[in-house]
Chains A and B, each alone.
Chain A
Amino acid sequence: MTFVQFLFYFFAAIQILAALRVITVRNPVHAALFLVLTFVSAACLWILMEAEFLGLLLVLVYVGAVMVLFLFVVMMLDVNIAEIREGFASYAPAALVVAVIMVIEMGMVLTHRIFNVRPPLEKASDVSNTEAIGRVMYTDYVYPFEIAAVVLLVAIIAAIALTLRRRPETKYQTPIEQIRVRRNDRVRLVKMKAEKKESGS
């Protein structure tokens, strides 16, 4: 077994275990953390295959977006923030384990060249894979690319259609009315007799 194979099985094992934990842990916060670990392991696998652009994209987009997801979980599921703060110490070990494994993984990928291993696949050409993706994205794959855009549009429409509702009780500003307002609408001049100053005081 070459070192690259070892790395592959190592990351794959971590990924599968982390994915299993995502669905087995009870705590949504833990699940989100394991999801992060799953994504990072997948990114490591991609980088191992010299698809470094996709690997980085996965880390940037998914791991970044998952943090948002994480926040949503905390907010939407009505998890009491104070309770989470209270139990912060109990999360620390899980977070620490995830963090340490991620660091080790990244370190292994970055330093695996010192073990003098060959890349698993010969490069098809001398262009970097970022450039290769850029070349075909809007040419050969323009059709699936456009469909992906439509899928995202549908997701937006569906999300809005299913969640938007008018709340008459909510107070909100109407900018157009604010701009069009005239002085006469707001200020009323009232004529009244001047009051005499009372002599006693």
Chain B
Amino acid sequence: MPDLTPAIPEIFLLTMACVVLVVDLFLRQEQRHLTFWLTQLTLAGLFLLTWNGMQAGTVTTFGGSFIRDPLSDLLKLFTYVVTAGVLLYSRDYLRDRKLYKGEYPVLVLFSLLGMMVMISAGSFLTLYMGLELLSLSLYALVAFNRDSSEASEAAIKYFVLGALASGMLLYGMSILYGLTGTLDLAAVQERLAAASDGARVPILFGMVFVIVGLAFKLGAVPFHMWMPDVYQGAPTSVTAFLGTAPKLAGFAILLRLLVDGMGGHQADWGQILMLLAVLSLAIGNIVAIAQSNIKRMLAYSTISHVGFIVLGVMIGNSDGYSAALFYTIIYALMSLGAFGVILVLSQKGFEAENLADFKGLNESHAWIAFLMLVLMASMIGIPGTAGFIAKFWVLQALVESGHVYLAVYAVLMSVIGAFYYLRVIKLMYVDKWERDRIPLPASDPGNVALSINSLGMIWLGLFPGVLMAACLAIFAA
């Protein structure tokens, strides 16, 4: 009988997801908010369970296929927070679009379970299963608005390319399995280290496939093609989820596979990641300038942020990993806020998804415009915001490890990227309010969660110590 205590959050989540699914069957449409609050209660319960289970050191169970360590705890806690935030922001949006159904929170909970499995994965098998659970739920969520042809198109694109990426990842894993004869990541690490020189080419072959699969899932150039279309086509509430929480899980599997599984070949995968990062920073920042749809713009912005995260991992020392972890968490929170603003501004029959819709926002919704200003400033990386600390830390780690040119390049690209974030600020504060374009007052102007989310970016920018210390402690050993 395996030790179940480290997996209690997962077991609790699975149970509650099934409870929500069954309870929802007995509710009428006007009672649907019960499903919603039960989901939030589940997330709160998960937070408490994981928080209570936190301890130093690594615990493995289920024969090594499940790992609970400080990294998994931290990432899981932020995944819960982000998921709860997305659900909170998207409530009115879903209700206005007749998507307020019981299956929606259930699918979100199941994809959360997939992310938790990924974050805690200790073997190729569980990692892949978690990824499939997440992807399958997300495909369904993207297609959730089945009357929209755009959403269906996005779902098909996401499904086909996602399946291709899964296939690549699986192929790479099968090659590595063939070389090592084990699925367990810790054992893979040992056997790869002990492998003869003749095995280097096959190992690289498998590694390349694994990295291609990961890059697809994370959205790093040149495997980013699905992102703009899926971000734009999916319902905004789904885009908000798709663009935030899965990145935390994606970061976890990047570390688990490359650092835990193939740590001895850092020199090899470091070069591949460097190329991915350089391309992502360029394409993400430059192509975003040409976008007129803010969801599409944020997709390219995601690509450029992924570039920064990959840069941190590429360095291959504990400082780089800590910086990348910090960046991933901050990115997820910033992105959550930005999509939150779009969700709050969207009304029945109106999607605030074009940049033009933000014209003169300051005149009609001064507070929301201010929150968006903070978020955009944080995405640029203006000092005083969390985005600055995140970028600064990655750049510092780059310089200290001798990659000065990469640091200069990343700064240049960030400066280019600042243009399109500043354009949003300019539209909101300088341009004139066109009466017929601006919607009615937002449904919930004093959306407390959104305010906390955005102002949190300033708070984390001024007092990043606790989170930074937590990120450092994880990789200090």
Q: Which one, A56-64, A138-146, A179-187, is touching chain B?
A: A138-146
From the candidates A142, A144, A151, A157, name the one contacting B107 in the complex (CB within 8 A).
A157
Q: How many A-B residue pairs have CB under 8 A?
A: 62
Residues from chain A with a CB closer than 8 A to the CB of B21 are 157
A143 touches B107 (CB 8 A): no
Residues from chain B with a CB closer than 8 A to the CB of A140 are 62-63
Residues from chain A with a CB closer than 8 A to the CB of B140 are 154, 157-158, 161-162
From the candidates B136, B143, B146, name the one contacting A154 in the complex (CB within 8 A).
B136
Interface membership of A150, Cβ < 8 A: yes
Q: Contacts A142-B62, A151-B133: A158 and B139 contacting too (C-beta < 8 A)?
A: yes
A158 to B139, CA, bound (A): 9
**Number of chain B residues whose Cβ lies closer than 8 Å to a Cβ of chain A:** 28
Q: Which one, B123-131, B211-219, B270-278, is touching chain A?
A: B123-131
Chain B window 99-115, contacts with chain A (Cβ cutoff 8 Å), 1 for yes, 0 for no? 00101001100100100
Chain A window 108-144, contacts with chain B (Cβ cutoff 8 Å), 1 for yes, 0 for no? 0000000000000000000000000000000011111
A161 touches B144 (CB 8 A): yes
Is the contact region of chain A dominated by helix, strand, or loop, or is it mixed?
Answer: helix
Interface membership of A155, Cβ < 8 A: yes
From the candidates A153, A157, A162, name the one contacting B146 in the complex (CB within 8 A).
A162
Give A182 Cβ to nearest chain B Cβ, in Å.
Answer: 27
A26 to B139, CA, bound (A): 27
A151 touches B103 (CB 8 A): no
B130 touches A143 (CB 8 A): no
From the candidates B117, B125, B129, B137, name the one contacting A158 in the complex (CB within 8 A).
B137
Give A58 Cβ to nearest chain B Cβ, in Å.
Answer: 16
A158 to B113, CA, bound (A): 15
Name the residue of chain A whose CB is nearest to the CB of B128: A144
From the candidates B2, B113, B139, name the one contacting A142 in the complex (CB within 8 A).
B2
Name the residue of chain B whose CB is nearest to the CB of A145: B129
Q: Contacts A161-B101, A162-B146: A144 and B137 contacting too (C-beta < 8 A)?
A: no
Residues from chain B with a CB closer than 8 A to the CB of A69 are none
**Number of chain A residues whose Cβ lies closer than 8 Å to a Cβ of chain B:** 18
Chain A, range 144-194, C-beta contacts under 8 Å to B: 144, 146-148, 150-151, 153-155, 157-158, 160-162
A147 touches B130 (CB 8 A): yes
A153 to B136, CA, bound (A): 11
Interface membership of B14, Cβ < 8 A: yes
Chain A window 40-83, contacts with chain B (Cβ cutoff 8 Å), 1 for yes, 0 for no? 00000000000000000000000000000000000000000000
Name the residue of chain A whose CB is nearest to the CB of B65: A143
A155 touches B136 (CB 8 A): yes
A144 touches B113 (CB 8 A): no
A147 touches B129 (CB 8 A): yes
B132 touches A151 (CB 8 A): yes
Q: Contacts A151-B133, A154-B137, A161-B140: A144 and B146 contacting too (C-beta < 8 A)?
A: no
A154 to B106, CA, bound (A): 9
Interface membership of B66, Cβ < 8 A: yes
Taking Cβ atoms with an 8 Å cutoff, the residues of B that contact A are: 2, 7, 14, 21, 62-63, 65-66, 101, 103, 106-107, 110, 113, 117, 125-126, 129-130, 132-133, 136-137, 139-140, 143-144, 146
The 8 A-B residue pairs whose C-beta atoms are closest, nearest first, are A158-B140, A161-B103, A143-B62, A147-B129, A140-B63, A144-B125, A154-B110, A151-B133
Taking Cβ atoms with an 8 Å cutoff, the residues of A that contact B are: 140-144, 146-148, 150-151, 153-155, 157-158, 160-162
Sample of 9 more A-B contacts, CB < 8 Å, known A143-B126, A148-B129: A143-B7, A143-B65, A144-B129, A146-B14, A151-B133, A154-B107, A154-B137, A157-B110, A158-B136
